[in-house]
Structure 1
Amino acid sequence: MNNKETASGEEKSQEINEREPIAAIATPVGEGGIAVIRVSGENAVAIVNDAFTGKDLRQQESHTVHFGNIVDKDEKMVDEVLVTVFRSPRSYTGEETVEISCHGGVLVTQAVLETMLTLGVRSAEPGEFTQRAFLNGKLELSQAEAVADLIHAKSKKALDAAHQQLEGRLGEHIKQFRQQIIDATAMVELELDFVEEDVEFADKKQLQELLEELDEEIDELLATYETGRLVKHGVRTVFIGLPNAGKSTLLNTLVGKDRAIVTEIAGTTRDTIDVDWSYDGLRFKLTDTAGLRDTTDVVEAEGVKRSQQAFEKADLVVYLKDLSSEITIEEREEIAKLQKNAGETPFILIGTKKDIALDIDDERIDYDLKISALEGEAIDKLKKLMKRRALENKHYDSSSLLVTSSRHRDALEKAQQDVQSALQALDRGMTGDFLSIDLRSALKHLGTITGEITTEDILDSIFSRFCIGK
């Protein structure tokens, strides 16, 4: 790794080599076939060997698996296990690492872990194994963050985006950007070195073209963030409309179970109900809302208020109109008002209860689709429509790189601002020292994405959201 802002290369290397061994359960706690306890750090192999009956682990090669027992300090068997040895630096963390595969189960797994802790091993903090992998140069910071995204992915497309980042595709782009800035900085600082000789840039036009190209490339990457956010966190989809419009029935139909209570009594839904649903690899966070109407019922009024709040935060709005009742002037005005207030948020107008619809053809209402959730009519068409509208005007391709982290977006925006500031300074004929300040600032912001420049605060923030054992 390059030098970190937190420590020089030699200091960091020495700090890492002296890290105490840590241990944690690396698999979900509960009943299962097997569980894995991971131990990593200085002398990890020798420490585990003290509680292992079988081959002498200290004499075994890296990436080998050995059968035996874990015993406590009284030589009493804790569990029958398989132990895998990973020698430094050929391990996930870059340190000596041992993975103990024992029988699954809360008590037996905890017993194996506690045996390790009695040998002077410390319990790992959330994300500490991956943090050590980063500090030891096994992963870039953006790749380390992708590990957490991979674990928490709740849709196929979120999984694909995490895989892309884990493969280092984002890091490759950032390195290219940094190299372009380094080239530009070299041109600027060459002039500064010969300021007394009154030497000017060899080619200011070339520098301008380089920075303009960089500005465009960063802009293209930033343009993928909104899609990346939807892919990673899900499309916040709000079902809205008058009471008894079929919102709860549609939600239950999409998720395939009775998640929301459905009755013929208007106002049954008093609060927003959130349900995760995936379609064609994309995750939707469906929100069933209380029916929009004036009411003197305090509880229902609060539900209507929350419906409005959900509408304001939505990525996709689906308004449902009951086709079995004639539309009123008030509802027509409400629909027009909501469409206007939605702004750039995609708005879908759906006619529901098509199976019992009135024989009225109101040409003044332009429905996107008419469905019957109860009969399952046109539901597949609705699913496709929701996905298409959710990604409308978004930069999305299954093979394209997406920026999914707000931290990365912020760093890219700051770097772009620095590049644009340098372009303005160049256009005004300002001296190279002003350009150099902007370019070095851009380098710093880009470096925070890959971890070439970082601080303890950044690391603590990133790795605190990891699960223990990873």
Structure 2
Amino acid sequence: MAQQTQQQQPTTEQREITQKEPIAAIATPIGEGGIAVIRVSGKNTIERVNRAFTGTDLNQEKSHTVHFGKIVNKKGEVVDEVLATLFHSPRSYTGEETVEISCHGGVLVTQAVLEAVLALGIRSAEPGEFTQRAFLNGKMELSQAEAVADLIHAKSQKAMDAAHQQLEGRLGEHIKKFRQQIIDATAMVELELDFIEEDVEFANKEQLKELLLALDAEIDRLLDTYETGRLVKHGVRTVFIGQPNVGKSTLLNTLVGKDRAIVTDIAGTTRDTIDVDWSYDGLLFKLTDTAGLRETEDLVEAEGVKRSQKAFEDADLVVYLKDLSRKGTPEERKEIGTFQKKAGDTPFLLIGTKNDIALEVEDERMAYDLKISALEGEKIEELKKLMKQRALENKDYDTSSLLVTSSRHREALLNAQEDVQSAIQALEQGMTGDFLSIDLRAALKELGTITGEITNEDVLDSIFSRFCIGK
């Protein structure tokens, strides 16, 4: 568990690596495979693992070397032939002594090797505990530690790119630059307070105001990237809506390339929302097939319609499907207009379906964005491009530039910006330096929570609980 509570963390240079009790966990997915890796880290890890390792004496070997041998249990029975990779402190992921044991893949053999290791007085690791130790030992900033989890859970190329960007420390570099500017300003203001009786002025108020205004603008630019960052990280929530039997399920199956939703000619076949992840051109779409919109006395279908409405309200992209093989009615046209109005700023596409059997008479009152035939694959590529284009409309989708992807980081930036703006207001109103100092220190604290200079135990527990065991 983290021991730092509302205090500034020491720098990597100032901090001595903390060697905690040794922990172990399987670091690779459970199942059949060529190899599995068991990670062990903590105080006297190499000496302890060596007790169950037959082959070379691991205690005598150098860091970053690999050794062939066997793991034996307490009864002296051979559990498996393995490779043991040694990492001496502080040259390891956690900063502690670490051994990574590569054994044959398979549920039973991997578990047997882990049990032999745990029998040496080593405890099972908690979720994210290895990465938490890496953070606490100064091997990475908190924003980089969070990026590890984002990288593991990434479901699209762009999400991976954004996670790598955070892992490289680019956000941390920006935040440190912001904090240093505020620290310099705070130092001048507080030095002035120390000499208040001598009426000495150290801080140039106009320069200080210009610095804070520039900082406010920089934070604003970062915050503007959050909406794009959210879509990159979590995916575009895309809902297919429309009357029953207009081809919503057929389109979903066509996009994902498999029969994920049941398709029949019977109206009302889809009676609940169906969610499917689909990636296109590096961007994740979370597709939702909904129950057809109609009045029904069927309780199950009625609940499906209710859930369709909720999916519409939460969507980042709305795709309304209109069957071109059926003549449009005034009621349907009114319904489309109502949904367009309710969508507000949410991108809305009106797509004509079943174009391969469309009526010859064109309904000129309907302004379709595209006409397709999911069954025949007609205009599907055009639809994919259109969906991405509309989803990212008015958003900077260049993931080579810095993106804020975490709601926690966004909240901290918003709070810091509020404090900076309060300091600007205090300057404009000619308030004394003690009020100004309070605002500047509050901004420092908020920015520090992003990189981990300032943390509390509850925040750390929340962050690292999202990790898998073994990372």
Shorter-chain TM-score bucket reads: over 0.9
Asked if 1:103 corresponds to 2:104, the answer is yes
Q: Structure 1 stretch 224-233 or stretch 177-186: which is displaced more?
A: 177-186
Equivalent position of 2:396 in the other structure: 395
Q: Distance in 2 between matches of 1:453 and 1:292?
A: 50
Equivalence for 1:460: 461
Alignment partner, residue 372 of structure 2: 371
Structure 1 equivalent of residue 355 of structure 2:
354
The equivalent residue for 1:139 is 140
Residues 337/47 of structure 1: CA separation in 2 closer, same or farther (3 Å cut): same
Amino acid at match of 2:418: Q
Q: How do residues 12-23 of structure 1 correspond to structure 2 at under 5 angstroms? A: 17-23=18-24
Q: Are residue 220 (structure 1) and residue 248 (structure 2) matched?
A: no
Whole-Å separation in 2 of the counterparts to 1:274 and 1:14: 47
Deviation at 1:4, TM superposition (A): 6.6
Query: In 2, Cα distance between the equivalents of 1:186 and 1:408?
Result: 25
Q: Distance in 1 between matches of 2:43 and 2:10?
A: 19
Query: Letter of the aligned partner of 1:45 in structure 2?
Result: I
Counterpart of 1:262 in structure 2 is 263
- After TM superposition, the score normalised by the length of structure 2 is 0.97
Deviation, 1:18, is 4.6
1:56-75 correspondence to structure 2 within 5 Å: 56-75=57-76
* AA at the equivalent of 1:307: S
Query: More deviation in 398-407 or 434-443?
Result: 398-407
How far the C-alpha of 1:198 sits from its partner, in A, is: 2.1
Distance 1:106 1:23 in 2: 16
SS in 2 for 1:39: strand
SS in 1 for 2:267: coil
Determine the C-alpha separation between the residues in 2 that align with 1:169 and 1:119.
Answer: 41
1:194 CA drift (Å): 1.6
2:28 maps to which residue?
Answer: 27
Deviation at 1:204, TM superposition (A): 1.2
1:309 and 2:310 matched = yes
Q: CA–CA distance in 2 between the matches of 1:357 and 1:381?
A: 19
* Distance in 2 between residues matched to 1:294 and 1:72, nearest whole Å: 66
Partner of 1:187: 188
1:142-190 residue CA offsets vs partner (Å, 9 max, x unmatched):
0000000000100000000000000000100101110111122123223
Quote the offset at 1:8 in angstroms: 7.0
SS of match in other structure, 1:37: strand
The alpha-carbon distance between structure 1 residues 93 and 217, as it changes in their structure 2 partners (threshold 3 A), is same
**CA deviation digits over 1:301-335, x for unaligned, max 9?**
11111100000000000000001111111111111
Map 1:308-347 to 2 at 5 A.
308-347=309-348
SS in 2 for 1:17: coil
Tell me whether 185-194 or 17-26 shows the greater mean CA deviation. Answer: 185-194
Name 1:204's counterpart in structure 2.
205
For residues 328-370 of structure 1, give each alpha carbon's deviation from its aligned partner in whole angstroms, at most 9, with x where no partner exists: 1111111111111001100001011100111122222111100
Cα distance, 1:398 vs. partner?
2.9
1:4–1:179 CA distance, 2 compared to 1 (3 A)? farther
The answer for the alignment partner of 2:289 in structure 1 is 288
Distance 1:172 1:227 in 2: 20
Tell me if structure 2 keeps the 8 A contact 1:6–1:456: no
Work out the CA distance in 2 between the residues paired with 1:422 and 1:222: 19
Q: Structure 2, unaligned stretches of length 5 or more?
A: none
The separation in 1 between residues aligned to 2:6 and 2:400, in whole angstroms, is 34
For 1:295, the aligned partner's letter is T
What is the alpha-carbon distance in structure 2 between the residues aligned to residue 460 and residue 4 of structure 1? 12
Q: Is the 8 A contact 1:53 1:69 kept in 2?
A: yes
AA in 2 matched with 1:29 = I
Q: What RMSD, in angstroms, separates the aligned Cα atoms of the two structures?
A: 1.5
Partners of 2:355 and 2:30 in 1: how far apart?
A: 48
CA distance in 2, matches of 1:86, 1:333: 68
Question: What corresponds to 1:233 in structure 2?
Answer: 234
1:368-411 Cα distance to aligned partner (Å, 9 max, x none): 10000000000000000000111111122131111111110000
Shift in Å at residue 201 of structure 1?
5.2
What percent of counterpart residues are identical?
A: 80
The one-letter amino acid paired with 1:35 is: A
- Partner of 2:131, secondary structure, is helix
Verify the 8 A CA contact 2:351 2:371 in the aligned structure 1: yes
Name the CA distance, whole Å, in 2 between partners of 1:34 and 1:208.
Answer: 59
When residues 76 and 371 of structure 1 are mapped into structure 2, their CA distance, relative to the original with a 3 A threshold, is: same
Quote the Cα distance in structure 1 between the aligned partners of 2:384 and 2:15.
Answer: 55
Q: CA deviation at 1:285?
A: 0.5
One-letter identity of the residue aligned with 2:263: V
More moved, 425-434 vs 199-208: 199-208
How far off is 1:14 after superposition? 9.3
Matched residue SS, 2:320? strand
* Structure 1 runs not aligned, ≥5 long: none
Cα offset, 1:205, TM superposition: 1.1
CA apart distance, 1:200: 3.5
> Partners in 2 of 1:202 and 1:415 — Cα distance?
21
Residue 98 (structure 2) pairs with residue 112 (structure 1): no
The separation in 1 between residues aligned to 2:328 and 2:84, in whole angstroms, is: 70
2:240 counterpart SS class: strand
TM-score normalised to structure 1 length: 0.97
Question: Quick one: which amino acid aligns to residue 469 of structure 2?
Answer: I
Question: CA separation in 2, counterparts of 1:438 and 1:139?
Answer: 28
Q: For the residues of structure 2 that align with 1:218 and 1:49, how far apart are their CA atoms?
A: 51
Alignment partners' CA distance in 2, 1:173 and 1:7: 18
**Partners of 2:15 and 2:138 within 8 A in 1:** no
Partner of 1:435: 436
How far has the Cα of 1:443 moved from its partner? 0.3
Return the letter of the residue paired with 2:218: E
Whole-Å separation in 2 of the counterparts to 1:72 and 1:406: 46
**Alignment partners' CA distance in 2, 1:136 and 1:14:** 7
Structure 2 residue matching 1:46: 3-state secondary structure: helix
Using the TM superposition, give the Cα deviation of residue 69 of structure 1 relative to its aligned residue in structure 2, in angstroms: 0.4
> How far apart in 1 are the matches of 2:15 and 2:287?
50
Quick one: structure 1 residues 390 and 8, their matched pair in 2 at CA, closer, same or farther if it must change by over 3 Å? closer
- Alignment match, 2:249: 248
Aligned match of 2:150:
149
Amino acid corresponding to residue 76 of structure 2 in structure 1: E
Cα deviation code 1:235-280 (max 9, x no counterpart): 0000000011110110000001111111111111111010110000
The answer to whether the 8 A contact 1:187-1:207 is kept is: no
- 2:221 and 2:364 map into 1 onto residues whose CA distance is 41
